[in-house]
Structure 1
Amino acid sequence: MVYTFRFRKELPKSIKDSAPKGSEWIINLAGSGQYRFELVSDAWIKPGEGRVVIKVPDATPAIIAEHALSDEQALLAILRYNRLIDTFLRATCYSLQSHLRTQVKDMGQIEVDELYLGVDRRGVQYVIPVQAKGGKDKLGIVQVRQDVAFCRERFPHLVCRPVAAQFMKDKVVALMELVDDCGKILVANETHFRLVPAGEISSEDLDRYCAAGEDS
């Protein structure tokens, strides 16, 4: 029950209504098996609407797409097989472990949906915790905070670049790079991708992507 309200669903109305105007309650870890309520301005991370959608050739093995056990598992597989984290962050990234359960000081046990390590052309190394949610589930700041705390504790010399991924309508995958600004989780970069057969990417699409790249 606690897990559901921390990560997937909004709190009951009676609790929500007790928050001051413009604030929301979240439930944070406060040690092993201990929790505390905290007021924040926004508890959830929402993909933007009306963004340009980038078509990417679908490299997901058909057998994986057919037998994925959940939306979250399917999304993590899509990210992995299509190297969308690499494309999004402009770095070479490698999946280190999925559904990593570990302990964080002053928090207790946490779970990272998938953990990547990456390196860019300058040699800068990154640790990339990924939070993935299906279309009906919500992306919350609680898990992102936990992911960031874990990365800072376990990988102090790597740059932490948390990423949130969510299925949207029309088979669009939204990727958002997040930053922790004094405890406030903000979206620093966002791109929407649609996986399609290679033949569905037209020459006009490619010309448009090239023109956009020249302007960026």
Structure 2
Amino acid sequence: MDQMIEIKVLDATPEIIGKYAKNDEQAALALVRYNRLIDIFMGITVYSLQSHLKTEVKGMAQVEVDELYLGVDSGGRHYAIPVEAKSGNDVINGLQIKQDIALCGKLFPDLISRPIGVKIIKREHKHGANVIAMMEFELSANGRLGLRTEKHYRLVRKDQFSEEELKAQNFAPPEKASPHR
């Protein structure tokens, strides 16, 4: 199996957060937030609205999303972005993603829902080995959940990102934007 390419991103995590953050979902959410990885991953501007948003969704009882972002793209389209974060041996659960989509449909029926899963792959702040997997999911017309895209981001210090690596990353073929809705 091919290993996922790691995209290097300069680590903007405040040193004090890096020093004391645990290896848990809250650490994953903090790394994502401080490094604006949702913006980078999705190619849109996003804002954190709320962490641990809980609400009742018809037919599902209480639903909780780890963090909810709202976003806007260059065409003015608005998005609701529920984020589920995992660390260690925890796995992103398809049922949770479906519940997140339902939550966004209830709270933001006119926004485009783009559910995201986040998982810390490696956590070694002092060695610049924070690697975070970002996954976007989509629900098909027949209700099946699928993986739309996945990328891995390695958070690095400036001395861990050579000019050659920057050039190689900058001149890689651009991705095609996929329309939503």
TM-score by length of 2: 0.88
What are the Cα deviations for residues 2-33 of structure 1, in whole angstroms up to 9, with x where unaligned?
Answer: xxxxxxxxxxxxxxxxxxxxxxxxxxxxxxxx
Contact 1:145 1:183 in 2 (8 A): no
Structure 1 unmatched ranges of 5 or more: 1-47
Amino acid at match of 2:156: V
SS state at 1:199 partner: helix
What are the Cα deviations for residues 104-136 of structure 1, in whole angstroms up to 9, with x where unaligned?
Answer: 111111110000000011101100000100021
Taking the aligned partners of 1:69 and 1:192, their CA distance within structure 2 comes to 20
TM-align CA RMSD:
1.6
SS state at 2:165 partner: helix
Tell me, yes or no, if structure 1 residue 178 matches structure 2 residue 137.
yes
TM-score by length of 1: 0.74
Shift of 1:70: 4.8
Shift of 1:69: 4.7
Superposed, 1:126-141 pairs within 5 Å as: 126-141=79-94
Stretches of 4+ aligned residues off by more than 4 angstroms: none
Classify 1:214/1:165 alpha carbon distance in 2 versus 1 (closer, same or farther; 3 Å).
closer
SS state at 1:139 partner: coil
Taking the aligned partners of 1:70 and 1:106, their CA distance within structure 2 comes to 34
In the alignment, which residue of structure 2 is the partner of 1:123? 76
SS state at 1:130 partner: strand
- Of 47, 53, 70, 1:100 maps to 53
Superposed, 1:39-58 pairs within 5 Å as: 50-58=3-11
In the alignment, which residue of structure 1 is the partner of 2:169? 209
Shift of 1:185: 1.3
Shift of 1:86: 0.1
What are the Cα deviations for residues 181-213 of structure 1, in whole angstroms up to 9, with x where unaligned?
Answer: 132211111111000102211111111112214
Classify 1:58/1:157 alpha carbon distance in 2 versus 1 (closer, same or farther; 3 Å).
same
SS state at 2:172 partner: helix
Classify 1:151/1:214 alpha carbon distance in 2 versus 1 (closer, same or farther; 3 Å).
closer
